[in-house]
Structure 1
Amino acid sequence: MLPLPVARALDTTLDRLVAPGYLRTGLAVRRHLPGWPADPAPGSLQGKVVAVTGATSGLGLATAEGVLALGAGLRMVVRDVDKAEGLARDLRTRFPNAPVDIDRCDVGDLDDVRRFARELEAERVDVLVHNAGAMPPRRTESPQGHELTMALHVLGPVLMTELLRPRLLGGRVLMVTSGGMYGQKLRDDDLEYLKGDYKPATAYARSKRAQVELLPVLEQRWSPEGTTVHATHPGWADTPGVVDSLPTFHKVTGPLLRDAVGGADTTVWLAATEPVPPGGRLWHDRRDRPTHLLPSTRTGSAERARTWAWVADQLDLDDA
């Protein structure tokens, strides 16, 4: 057994070197280090409702399976209801004591988010996992005219949470972000990616950077009601999204990538572990992590405030 300070130093080294910590070996090593947080207790989500967006594949499906295994009732928030129906039948067979419901919603369409929130039948939601994501190959706009990655990863999740606040009192909100955001600074001067040549991976990472930078704002806004907000990045996981959007990366790293269960591990842990971890932080492999690795990406309070003011204006929110 390594001394705890040495284990912590090894964990931090894996994180700062990126690849060793993000691949499957990083999770495997950390699981055997002293200080690795305990798994949530069996049945720790019994009687609770967890809503997962983008729950039909990859990290979303792995998250759904993980919370069902802990006794949660699941709401699959999806665009493709037909695909979800087939998956839900399988999940109900494997987890017969946990209810599985399906809700249609395109998180990138703000009008559809509003409809979904109005029609949601659940009396409450204990955990809301914002997992839905996309990396369009060219600049694409949402039905409201917003650049799609910002609509899907920032505007839609914030609006959905705002509309569900009465059902989330004392609950947890989890943003599934990406380690790719470490390479980008917050572009409060170009949140809709109107300047320069559009690059899909850059757009994706910029929107995920915005997610992370808004964490302290959202925590301050929602915590008075007892609702905590957290972000988690999965490392490098082998998912259909990676295969479709980053085929070269997948071809090179495929055998070394984590599986979806490994990528979703911290999200499931954050959904269930007690006591509730501190909100407003970024987590990876069950430990809170720095939001910046490069001095060039650091964000000041003015840039964060301008970004929040833009989000609040697009969603017609009180920006206090």
Structure 2
Amino acid sequence: MSRWSQGVDHLLELSVVGSFSVVGYDVRSRLDHWGPLPLSTDTSVLVTGATSGIGRAGALELARRGAFVIGVGRSPERARQLEMDLRSHHPRGEGRVLVSDMGDLEDVAALSDLLLRDHVPTVLLHNAGAITPNLTRTLQGIEGTLATQVVGPHLLTTRISSTWSTSNPGRVIAMTSGGLYTQPFNLSSLLEPPLPYSGVKTYARVKRAQVVWIEALSTLKGLTSAAVHPGWTATAGLRDALPRFSTLMTPLLRSASQGAADLVWLSSCPDMVTHPGALWLDRRRREPHRLARTRTDGPRDCSTLLSYLNETIAPYVTTN
């Protein structure tokens, strides 16, 4: 990476708009001469939230490159369509899509059982999640956004990673959001969102929690972890949750494929192993904080969150 490239990247970061928009993607991909990384044909990747948007784009690109992709989504109809599309993209006609709700711990436990019996993935791409306008709780009583994007993924990761080892490690990658930069980590606010409820703020708090979770996972043996945010990407979720922003920024939004590019890259990137627990955007590590008010005690946050997660999933962590 040249000084010129570093300087341009730094200016893009300072501008925010230049970094998060399609401008950042276009400039950095040219400056750094991006190309596809080799992907082993025995790579097995599970992608949650795979039936639409960024997840779908990433799943199809991984299939095209020869990975065995296991998609996860809630809609049976979309799941069937994605499975056909995965197989049509894959060089050997392979691909599978399972129906599961990542916010329902019973569902996630059943999904884990199925994977452990049939096909254990070596890469977990946790992409499922959306902004919900109203406060919801799962059957287990957990706030819905937190359940889908942190608690459910932690259960799945815990179950699947039990088969990994230091000699045969796995990868855990969480798709977060630039919204994380607006919120500090606060477990109490995650468990009981402040009223009046704001779906956007709740989503941002959960995205901050994802980064803390990924950092906490980086200390565990048998896996390496990373968080990535997609910049500002044109998805149905963005249009529904932030219609004014989506309309205003339309010319500058990244495509779903561009938003998924780092997910695909991190699935085989060696830099992820040498920098576990990092936050990435456009193939570079990024600072997890932009504002002083969001900075808290990192090690304490990791310990607090991991303790809560392990206690919450304990009834669902079994060996079959």
| Counterpart residue number, 2:228 | 232
Q: Residue 304 of structure 2 corresponds to which residue in structure 1?
A: 306
Q: Quote how far apart the aligned CAs of 1:125 are.
A: 0.9
Amino acid in the other structure paired with 2:48: T
Cα distance, 1:194–1:92 mapped onto 2, change above 3 Å:
closer
SS at match of 1:52: strand
8 Å CA contact 2:174–2:214 kept in 1: the answer is no
Cα deviation, residue 195, structure 1: 2.8
8 Å contact from structure 2 (residues 193, 202) kept in 1: no
Structure 2 counterparts to residues 67-78 of structure 1, below 5 A: 67-78=62-73
Gap runs ≥5 in structure 1: none
1:290 corresponds to 2:287: yes
CA contact (8 A) 2:79 2:98 kept: no
1:1-320 equivalences in 2 (<5 Å): 4-33=2-31, 35-36=32-33, 38-41=35-38, 44-120=39-115, 121-169=117-165, 170-221=169-220, 224-225=221-222, 227-274=223-270, 276-277=272-273, 278-300=275-297, 301-316=299-314
Give the whole-Å Cα distance in 1 for the aligned partners of 2:30 and 2:236.
29
Farther-moved stretch of structure 1 (308-317 vs 290-299): 308-317
- Structure 1 residues 36 and 298: alpha-carbon distance in aligned structure 2, compared to 1, 3 A threshold: farther
Deviation at 1:111, TM superposition (A): 1.0
1:12 positional shift? 2.0
Decide whether aligned partners of structure 1 residues 190 and 29 sit closer, same or farther in structure 2, where only a CA change above 3 A counts. Answer: same
Whole-angstrom CA distance in 2 between matches of 1:182 and 1:25: 20
The question of whether the paired residues in 2 share the 8 Å contact of 1:125 and 1:167 is answered with no
Note the alpha carbon deviations across 1:256-306, whole angstroms, 9 max, x for none. 100001001111000023465421110000001000011110120334432
C-alpha separation between the residues in 2 aligned to 1:166 and 1:312? 14
CA positional deviation for 1:37: 5.2
Q: Deviations over 1:100-126 (max 9, x none)?
A: 112121000011101111122433211
Secondary structure, counterpart of 1:220 in structure 2: coil
Q: Provide closer, same or farther for how the CA distance between residues 37 and 89 of structure 1 changes in structure 2, counting only shifts above 3 A.
A: closer
Distance of aligned partners of 1:316 and 1:91 in 2 relative to their CA distance in 1, 3 Å threshold: closer
Matched AA of 2:122 = D
Task: Name the CA distance, whole Å, in 2 between partners of 1:183 and 1:107.
Answer: 25
Moved more, 238-247 or 106-115: 238-247
Look up the SS of the partner of 1:50 in the other structure.
strand
Secondary structure, aligned partner of 1:77: strand
Distance 1:248 1:88, change over 3 A: same
TM superposition shift of 1:96 = 4.4
Decide which moves more: 69-78 or 298-307.
298-307
Q: Distance in 2 between matches of 1:308 and 1:36?
A: 38
Structure 1 residue 168, shift from structure 2 partner? 4.0
Name the amino acid aligned to 1:87.
Answer: L
Alpha-carbon distance in 1 for matches of 2:128, 2:40: 22
Q: Give 1:36 shift.
A: 4.9
- The Cα shift of 1:7 comes to 1.4
Q: Cα RMSD between the aligned structures?
A: 1.8
- SS of the residue 2:191 aligns to: coil
Q: CA deviation at 1:309?
A: 2.1
CA–CA separation in structure 1 for the residues paired with 2:50 and 2:193: 31
- One-letter amino acid matched to 1:191: L
Any unmatched runs of 5+ in structure 2? 316-320
TM-score using structure 1 length: 0.91
Shift of 1:6: 2.4
Contact 1:186 1:303 (C-alpha < 8 Å) held by counterparts: yes
Q: Offset of 1:177 from its aligned partner?
A: 0.5
